[in-house]
Amino acid sequence: MRTPQRFALLGCGFIGQVHAANLAAHPDIVLARVCDIDIARAEEVARRYGAQVASVSEALASDAIDAVLIASATPTHATLLEQAVKAGKAVYCEKPIDLSLSRACEVVANLTPLQVSVTVGFNRRFDRSHQQLKAQLEQGVIGRPELIQMVCRASQRPPLSYLQTSGGQMRDQAIHFFDLLRWLTGDEVVTVGALGAALAMPEIREFDVDTSVLIMRLQQGALAQLDNTRRTAYGYDERISVMGSDGMLVSESQAERGATLYQTHGITRPGLYADWFSRVQATYYSHLDAFVRHMRGEPVADLPGLIDGLRAQAIAEAAQRSLTLGEFTEVAWVTA
């Protein structure tokens, strides 16, 4: 029987509660401590899963904690990540590492020599369709990738309060697909051009966009396109196609389970998932499971680490500059 990993959860908002449920459900994990600036919210989550409420400092100082899951507000990630690693705790940190790329680089440079297990929350790597696409790419079934097209279209507009602190569409939404692009191709983005507008939410025009199109060139010559929107009128739409010298692979948008209705005047099929979370919910557990296996010393090829976090963020920063300047922008090469 394996000794369970004892986790502290930092942050009990929406995504923190998603992680709390997964931590509590995993057979090799004990959700031992819960921390949040909203004590009542922390107490409710702790009560639900049989954990104890603690301050961050108490959780990090405790010998009863092996690992920390950081699901707090984005501006707190870097500081909490530093504190947790220096306390010797393994860390699952939601993306991004920090809203500032220079600050994120500083954190990674400081923490890498400590050789503590850290993963960054790019859970879409654990989508089964995307993983099958990657496996077939690695088998060479379509030859060398030449053209990649990616779609990320959320069905429902996030609250304005969330968008005001999210860091913008490039750092919050598109960054998942910057990571997927690197992971799927094993290549790096060198140039990015972006156009964007606030079409669904004109009220955010002064600080963000909700609809954008990006063109990227990869180091080995392939071209990639990504379109993002914060609102559709037809459900959550996420898909990736990779055209190569010998064919094309596609990870399609996925429909809710249901019957297809055939009638004389037409065919009615199940619609897409109503929201992004319904599509990707299972990937959070799969990512957590991969991290626990990594903590036990098992090899986990798809686990995103600190450098992955930095390089996806570097693409996001270049995309944001391109939006602002209206021109193609080089992506900074970042290392620990």
pLDDT tens, residue by residue, 12-40: 999 999 999 999 999 999 999 999 999 99
Q: Are residues 142 and 252 in the same domain?
A: yes
* Residue 138 located in a structural domain: yes
* CATH number of the domain enclosing 30: 3.40.50.720
Cα–Cα distance between 46 and 12 in angstroms, integer? 10
Residues 325 and 208 in one domain: yes
Which domain-ending residue is among 92, 116, 140? 116
Q: What is the pLDDT of residues 93-138, one digit of tens each?
A: 999 999 999 999 999 999 999 999 999 999 999 999 999 999 999 9
Could you count the other beta carbons within 10 Å of the beta carbon of residue 254?
Answer: 19
How do residues 35-87 score in pLDDT, each as one tens digit?
Answer: 999 999 999 999 999 999 999 999 999 999 999 999 999 999 999 999 999 99
Q: Is residue 295 part of a domain?
A: no
- Domain assignment of residue 195, yes or no: yes
Residue range of the domain that includes 79: 5-116
Residues 180 and 152 both lie in one domain: yes
Are residues 146 and 40 part of one domain? no
Together in a domain, 179 and 317 = yes
**Which H or E run includes 235?**
none
Share of the chain above pLDDT 70, in %: 99
**DSSP code string of 34-49:** EE-SSHHHHHHHHHHH
| 69 closest CA partner among 19, 127, 124 | 19
Paired residues of 197 in beta bridges: 211
Cis previous bond, 304, omega within 30: no
Question: Is residue 75 within 8 Å of residue 165, measured between CB atoms?
Answer: yes
- Evaluate if residue 263 carries a pLDDT over 90: no
**Which distant-in-sequence residues (6+ apart) come within 8 Å of 181 by Cβ?**
148, 150, 189, 216, 218, 224, 226
CA–CA–CA angle 277, 278, 280 (5° rounding): 60
Q: φ, ψ for residue 217 (rounded to 5)?
A: -110, 135
The dihedral formed by the CA atoms of 42, 277, 66 and 117, expressed in degrees to the nearest 10:
-140
Render pLDDT for 215-253 as a digit per residue (tens, 0 to 9). Answer: 999 999 999 999 999 999 999 999 999 999 999 999 988
- Whether residue 242 contacts residue 133, with contact meaning beta carbons closer than 8 Å, is answered with yes
- Cβ neighbourhood burial of 187 (10 Å; 0-12, 13-18, 19+): middle
Q: Are strands 118-120 and 211-218 parallel, antiparallel or unpaired?
A: unpaired
Asked if residue 141 and residue 85 are part of one domain, the reply reads: no
Q: Does 187 score more than 80 pLDDT?
A: yes
Supply the pLDDT for residue 278.
87
Query: What is the spatial distance between Cα 236 and Cα 90, in angstroms, rounded to a whole number?
Result: 33
Q: What is the pLDDT of residue 1?
A: 64
Query: Considering only CA atoms, which of 248, 194, 195, 198 is closest in space to residue 217?
Result: 194
Judge contact between 192 and 150, C-beta under 8 A. Answer: no
Give the pLDDT of residue 262.
79
202 pLDDT more than 80: yes
Asked if 171 and 318 sit in the same domain, the reply is: yes
Residues 80 and 36 in one domain: yes
When the pLDDT of each residue in the chain is averaged and rounded to a whole number, the result is: 94
Tokens of 315: 């693409």
Are 43 and 53 a contacting pair, CB within 8 Å? yes
Of the residues 96, 116, 136, the one at which a domain ends: 116
